[in-house]
Structure formats: C-alpha cells, structure tokens
C-alpha cells in the first residue's frame, strides 16, 4: 500500500514538472531559431496577445510609473550617440519656417577622428568595436512595446483643431524639436505649380481641409483628402483595453504622421520583421513625389500607391498582425471607392521647387556656386552616390543591402536586437533638406551625418572639402 502511494506521488510529480520543463526548453530553442540571445524575452515572436492579462487601469498605472525610467533610458542612449545641440545653418527649409541644422552629430569613440576611421577596414572597425554608435540601427523609444509615437507639435495642433488627443501615457517623442522637419510643412501640388505653397501656413485637419482646398482640387481629390484626414482605429489609438491613450480614441489619420502630405518625423516599428526585438524603427517618409516611385515601403516593396494605402491600415496600423486588428476595429478601405481617391490625392503632392535644377535634375552651372558644382561632381563621380540615387529623381526604385553589419557585432541595445538590417529601399534625395532625421529609422540627424556614413560604409576616403561639397550639393536638391 505504502509502495503504491509513493509510486503514485512520483507519477504526479513528474507529470507536474514535465510541461514546465518543456516550456522553458521550447523557449530557448526558439530563441536560437529566431537568432536572438538565450536570455532575451522572446514573447511576441509572431503574434501579439489578444486577451490582456491585466485590466486597462492597471496597465495604464504601471506604464505611467515606468515612463520616467523609459524616457531616461532613451535620453542616455541618444546623448551617447549624438550631439543633440541646436546648431542652425543659414539655409532654410522650403517654406522658410525652420533652419536646416548643420554639422556632424554622430559622436566618435574617444580619441578617434573621421579621417582615421575612414582609413580602417570594416574588419578592424568591427573587431576593435570602433563603429560610431549613431551609425547603428536606432531603437524605438520603448522598443518592448513599440507603436506609433507622434511629435509634440502635431499633438498640440490636433488637440487645438479637433480635440483629439495623440499623447500616449507610456512614452513621449524622443528627439528635440529643432532636429525635426518644419511644422506645419508647406504643400506643393503638381496640378497647380503656379500657386506655390497652398497650406496657408496651416496644418490640414478634418476641420479645415475643405475650406483650404476648395477651388484648388477636384471632387475626387477632395474626397481622398477627407479620408486621409479621418481617424481610424490603430494599435495604440483605439477604444479597447489594449490602447496607450488615456481616453478611448477614434484613432489615427494618415496625415497625423504624413503632416500636410509630408512628414513630421513620427515613428513606429516596421510591421515586416519578427521576432519583436529585431523589428526596425521607422521614421515617417514624405509623400512628396511619391507619384514617381515604383516601390513603396523600406522593406515591403509594394508596387503601387493604391496597395500601400490599402495595406497601411491592414499592416502598419496593426504591426502586421491582422489578429489584434480585428479586435480593435480595423478599417479596411474599399479599393474601388476609397483607396483610389486617397491615392489620387497623394499622387498630386509635389516636391518643393528647386530653382537651381534643370529639367534633367542637374545643377544649372550658371545658378550654382563653385562648392555646389564640386559637390555634384563628387556625387556623380568619386562618391558613387548616383549609382543608387540617379538624376532626375535621385532614386533607382531598388532595394540595396548596404551590409552595415560588416562594421559591428550583433548585440542588444535598449531592448532592441541590433543585427544586420538587410535590403532597404533607396529613398529619393529630392527635397531632402526638408525631411530630417535620415535613413529608414531616422538614425542620422543631419545631411553631414549621411555623408560621413556613406564615406565609411561604402569606403570612399573622401577629403574634408569633398564631404563639405557633397552636403552643399544635397541642399540644392
Ligand atoms: C506612424 C505614422 C504613420 C501613419 C499614421 C501613416 N503612415 Fe504612411 N508611412 C509611415 C512610415 C514610417 C512609412 C515608411 C514605411 C517603410 O519604410 O516601410 C510610411 C510610408 C508610406 C507610403 C510609402 C511611401 C514611399 O515612399 O514609398 C505611403 C504611400 C503611405 N505611407 C501612405 C499612408 C496612408 C495612405 C496612410 C493612412 C492610411 C498612412 N500612410 C498612415 C508612417 C505612417
Ligand atoms: C548602394 C546604393 C547606395 C549608394 C552608393 C548610396 N546610397 Fe544613399 N541610400 C541608399 C539606401 C538603400 C538608403 C536607405 C538606407 C537606410 O535607410 O538604411 C539611402 C539613404 C540615403 C540618405 C537618406 C535619405 C532619407 O530620406 O532619409 C541620404 C541623404 C543618402 N542616402 C545620400 C547618399 C550619398 C550622399 C551617397 C554618396 C556618398 C549615397 N547616398 C550613396 C543607397 C545608396
């Protein structure tokens, strides 16, 4: 009898231990499969939770308590990577509402100079850990949660105009205002170049768009614009217990990030990559000149503006997760009656005028300075920039793998797994001075930074004068 009882107990014990052991083992195995370190929390590997394990109030209180710590963590990271100071140049952005910031902002490791660094091989830089941290992929302000984060100017103006609150309770925007695009950005239309900026210095919203655009756009474009300015539920801005705004929200509009059809530098995580820790921060791109682009999204490579418009709400709004989207009330715009109109409106957003460029997109030698002409020569010659950014639109409609991971070892940084990023779409350089920060994740703050980046990454060995000339040329685009 005693013996049988012991056997019974042993069976129970083993049975109780087995599943636990399986779970731990399974998690470690899958971390290996996902290519991330063993001790990294790999929840949200493919799916996000649908049923929350806490009620909304509890989550909000915990998030609010964590917020100062999270913001401090990001501030430390940004200050380690960059010189964030306000150092305006005398060049203004297109509507002359904000100066372009100047100077290289990425910090070098102690004792290093840009010249010395450019003389080292990728292997040496990688082995000695000398790659500037600001050249690495940039983590989201709260990478473990991710989601859309809107800059203060936009939050304030939308609150004024619509009394809709875009402020999250768990995070705030992380970059200083002087490093962002001018606000509100000007609007140039391909259909009415003679009018110049049609924004009247205002931010388009559902309250004022009709008045501002009446008489200038067609009924179809007007209806497209209405939809681009209408809030629809999104992962963090919605009405469920899994939201990051205090009051239940109607949602986000396309132009909450693409302000006036340009960008306000709002960011989120890309919907395309898993597991969650490996996802990329994405800086909002401008929609100016999108009519001339054949592929859309830094990784998605969607082939039409209509596809992107339709899928932005399916994928980007909900982290590429159609399961949680259903719970939060995803709006799926109708292709025939809505998407095409939204696309038609986006397709008339033009680049800002460039008085120094000819119809071939090249500098008019009579109008350019000597430094600008020198910069153009480097761009199309020694710098090899034009091989991926050819005139007249300074893009090649291709994705390229810059193989930046030749210069660093994979590691964790603020809950982001820093590893090879793979192929990314070449962005256009037309109107580039208007859309800092730069690169898909906004990791570079000035055009000078992008020149140093390509000088190292494509191993160009440019002189100081050549680098300055390149920046001067890009300011003409
Ligand atoms: C977080 C704010 C945000 C919101 C809201 C948003 N977008 Fe975007 N949009 C982005 C980002 C970031 C990218 C770049 C995506 C990438 O690199 O993969 C982008 C890219 C695009 C592109 C591709 C442009 C190109 O250069 O290829 C289009 C078109 C676009 N968005 C349209 C829309 C439309 C239409 C909506 C509303 C349904 C919308 N966006 C809402 C941030 C946003
Ligand atoms: C092999 C192709 C290739 C070459 C060569 C190249 N680029 Fe790029 N460029 C890209 C790609 C791809 C991106 C986007 C990379 C990313 O976001 O990670 C980019 C991004 C940029 C950006 C940021 C654009 C934005 O909207 O944020 C600037 C500025 C730029 N390149 C300038 C240059 C200059 C200057 C040179 C020459 C010194 C150069 N590029 C050479 C492919 C190239």
Phi/psi for 191 (5° steps) reads -80, -25
| C-beta of 454 in contact with ligand 2 (< 6 A) | yes
Per-residue pLDDT reduced to its tens digit, 141-174: 999 999 999 999 999 999 999 999 999 999 999 9
Taking each helix axis from N to C end, the angle separating 464-474 and 447-457, rounded to the nearest 10 degrees, works out to: 130
Centroid of ligand 2 to alpha carbon of 389 (angstroms): 7
Q: 102-140+354-474 in CATH: which number?
A: 1.10.760
CATH 1.10.760 range(s) for the chain read 102-140+354-474
Question: In this structure, is the dihedral angle defined by the CA atoms of residues 336, 339, 341 and 347, taken in order, positive or negative?
Answer: negative
Contact indicator for 462, 379 with CB cutoff of 8 Å? no
Centroid of ligand 2 to alpha carbon of 380 (angstroms): 13
Residue 230, preceding peptide bond in cis (omega within 30° of 0): no
- Ligand 2 atom closest to Cα of residue 441: 17
| C-beta of 299 in contact with ligand 1 (< 6 A) | yes
Q: What is the pLDDT of residue 27?
A: 54
SS3 428: coil
Q: Which residue has the tokens 């490093």?
A: 179
Ligand nearest to the CA of 344: 1
Q: What percentage of the chain exceeds 90 in pLDDT?
A: 82
Q: What is the pLDDT of residue 19?
A: 39
Question: Residues 466, 428, 404, CA angle at the centre, nearest 5°?
Answer: 65
- Ligand 2 atom closest to Cα of residue 458: 5
Q: What is the pLDDT of residue 6?
A: 53
SS3 151: coil
Kindly tell me if the per-residue pLDDT of 21 is higher than 50.
no
Contact indicator for 437, 178 with CB cutoff of 8 Å? no
Residue nearest to atom 11 of ligand 2 (CA): 426
Residue nearest to atom 11 of ligand 1 (CA): 284
Kindly tell me if the per-residue pLDDT of 322 is higher than 50.
yes
- Mean pLDDT over residues 326-339, rounded? 90
- Ligand 2 atom closest to Cα of residue 432: 26
Q: Predicted confidence band at 43 (pLDDT cuts at 50, 70, 90)? A: low
- Ligand 2 atom closest to Cα of residue 450: 29
308, 310, 340, 348, best to mutate for ligand 1 pocket (most atoms within 8 Å of CB)? 308
pTM of the model: 0.93
Task: Check residues 446 and 20 and name the one with the higher pLDDT.
Answer: 446
Kindly tell me if the per-residue pLDDT of 15 is higher than 50.
no
Centroid of ligand 2 to alpha carbon of 21 (angstroms): 48
């Amino acid at each position: 009898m005693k013996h049988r009882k012991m056997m019974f107990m042993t069976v129970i014990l083993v049975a109780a231990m087995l599943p636990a052991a399986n779970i731990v083992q399974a998690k470690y195995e899958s971390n290996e499969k996902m290519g991330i370190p063993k001790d990294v929390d790999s929840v949200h590997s493919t799916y996000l939770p649908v049923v929350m394990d806490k009620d909304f109030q509890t989550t909000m209180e915990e998030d609010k308590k964590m917020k100062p710590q999270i913001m401090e963590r990001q501030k430390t990271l940004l200050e380690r990577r960059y010189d964030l100071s306000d150092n305006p140049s005398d060049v203004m952005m297109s509507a002359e509402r904000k100066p372009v910031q100047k100077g290289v902002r990425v910090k070098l490791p102690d004792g290093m100079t840009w010249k010395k660094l450019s003389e080292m091989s990728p292997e040496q830089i990688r082995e000695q850990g000398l790659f500037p941290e600001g050249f690495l992929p940039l983590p989201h302000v709260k990478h473990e949660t991710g989601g859309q984060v809107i800059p203060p100017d936009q939050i304030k103006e939308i609150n004024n105009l619509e009394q809709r609150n875009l402020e999250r309770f768990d995070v705030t925007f992380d970059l200083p205002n002087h490093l962002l695009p001018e606000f509100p950005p000007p609007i140039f239309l391909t259909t009415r170049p003679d009018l110049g900026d049609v924004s009247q210095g205002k931010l388009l919203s559902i309250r004022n768009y009709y008045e501002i655009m009446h008489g200038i756009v067609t009924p179809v474009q007007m209806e497209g614009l209405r939809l681009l300015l209408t809030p629809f539920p999104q992962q963090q801005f919605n009405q469920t217990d899994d939201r990051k705004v205090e009051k239940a929200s109607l949602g986000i509009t396309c132009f909450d990030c693409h302000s006036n059809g340009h960008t306000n530098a709002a960011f989120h995580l890309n919907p395309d990559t898993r597991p969650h820790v490996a996802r990329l921060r994405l800086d909002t791109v401008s929609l100016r000149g999108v009519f001339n682009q054949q592929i859309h999204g830094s990784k998605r490579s969607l082939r039409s503006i209509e596809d992107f418009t339709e899928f932005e709400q399916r994928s980007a709004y909900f982290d590429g997760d159609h399961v949680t989207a259903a719970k939060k009330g995803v709006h799926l715009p109708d292709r025939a009656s809505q998407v095409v109109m939204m696309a038609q409106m986006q397709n008339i957003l033009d680049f800002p005028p460039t008085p120094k460029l000819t119809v071939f997109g090249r500098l008019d030698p009579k109008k350019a300075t000597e430094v600008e002409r020198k910069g153009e020569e480097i761009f199309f010659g020694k710098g090899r920039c034009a091989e991926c950014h050819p005139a007249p639109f300074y893009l090649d409609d291709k994705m390229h793998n810059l193989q930046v991971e030749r210069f660093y070892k994979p590691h964790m940084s603020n809950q982001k797994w820093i590893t090879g990023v793979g192929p990314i779409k070449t962005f256009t350089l037309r109107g580039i001075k208007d859309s800092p920060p730069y690169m898909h994740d906004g990791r570079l703050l000035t055009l000078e930074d992008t020149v140093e980046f390509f000088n190292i990454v494509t191993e160009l060995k440019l002189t100081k004068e050549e680098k300055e000339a390149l920046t001067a040329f890009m300011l003409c685009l």
